[in-house]
Amino acid sequence: MIANSLKLPSGAVLPNRIVKSAMSEALGDDFNNPSDGLINIFHRWGKGGAGLLITGNTPIDRWHLEHAGNVVLDHHTDINRMKKLTSAAKSGGAYILAQLAHAGRQTPDTINAHPISMSNIRLDLPGYGEPRAATDTDLETVITQFTESAWLAKEAGFDGVEIHAAHGYLLSSSLSPRINTRDDHWGGSLENRARLLLSVIRSVRARVGQQFIVAVKLNSSDFQKGGFSHEDSIEVTKMLQGEGIDFLEISGGNFETPVSYQHTSRQESTIAREAYFLEYARDIKKSLNIPIMVTGGFRSRAVMDNALSSGATDLIGMGRPFIIDPEFPEKLLKGLIDMAPAMERDFPPAGKLPRGAVLNWFCHQLSLHGTVGDSNLALPIVDGHERYLVDMQNLTKRVLKARGK
């Protein structure tokens, strides 16, 4: 099943069902353009056999980054560098999407102490400032920024964009009644809370045309009391289908409840859990006739093929295996292996490690791909975690210096 092609509503035909999902590659240069290291790793991924590649979080606004290492796509971007990235990614026949995002209140305070959000409710984590409730003008500007970034993506050679409306970023928080406490036409009812996302999709589609892939990443649930619920998610997916999107990626959680970044170690279970959001996707897919993508936990080909054949999903999204072995999809498709790399299963349980250690270890491995050309799998988890934090501090200083701050 994973070797089967898939035709999207835009007309694009993906050569297989394996997708490199978005990761925080943190390989932008001091001006938030693609570095040589990022271009090189996308060349490896492009040659590695996956049918579709999705970039890491690509902000539409330089003052609302997920972190300083993001590649930004706006009118200050070096489009020639972007063209080199898309050319590298397509070198083996894969399609490539730019994942467009606005971090909202999840912008680090070192980048912006008072980012815009749907309200002034602060993120319950250290390192983030008090957000400013966005005005009508702010939100209309956001719609314009998404639209122009999508057009620039098309100009740079991307095959499409994925609009990031999951994981607590601005479009995700707009959907959450816990964060979006507004009483104007952007808040209150689910229809009002979905207005910002739907307006972005409508504007982007009108700008880029019908043959350009437009996808959306959406939470199946925020997994927080009072947040965006699974029932809400099902209703929003119906609205998105009505806007003519090409596929929907299902995920879940946010920075405060990082469900999508979890790992299951052998100490916690003798049978490692796969496909975190598959059951949620089954519910959502019952109401849709567009393709669904599920990301999170897939490792064994048998589980992937079963998820596809059962109709629960149409695309298999994976992230961390691409860091460990950028060429694993071709091996999986050819039957040389029956399982994607899953070394995180040999890590200690998350409760025995510093917060975010596993995620940061993987991010450091990505950084090594960009700087030395490959990962260092022998590096202890805590060492990689600590090195990544130091690297991000230094990169933040360089980015702010380059901006004259």
Query: How is residue 18 written in tokens?
Result: 């394996």
Provide the CATH number for the domain around residue 337. 3.20.20.70
177 in a domain, yes or no? yes
384 in a domain, yes or no? no
Rounded Cα–Cα distance for residues 85 and 60 (Å): 17
Question: What's the pLDDT score for residue 270?
Answer: 39
Once rounded to an integer, what is the mean pLDDT over residues 257-266? 50
1 in a domain, yes or no? no
Total domains in the chain come to 1
Rounded Cα–Cα distance for residues 393 and 399 (Å): 10
Rounded Cα–Cα distance for residues 222 and 404 (Å): 37
Task: Note the pLDDT tens digit of each residue in 224-237.
Answer: 667 788 889 989 99
286 in a domain, yes or no? yes
**Contact between residue 166 and residue 219 where contact means Cβ atoms under 8 Å apart:** yes
Question: What's the pLDDT score for residue 271?
Answer: 41
395 in a domain, yes or no? no
Give the range of the structural domain holding residue 204, as residue numbers without chain letter: 12-345
Please check the confidence at residue 292 and state whether its pLDDT lies above 60: yes
271 in a domain, yes or no? yes
pTM of the model: 0.93
Please check the confidence at residue 341 and state whether its pLDDT lies above 80: yes
188 in a domain, yes or no? yes
399 in a domain, yes or no? no
- 209 contact partners, CB below 8 Å, separation of at least 6: none
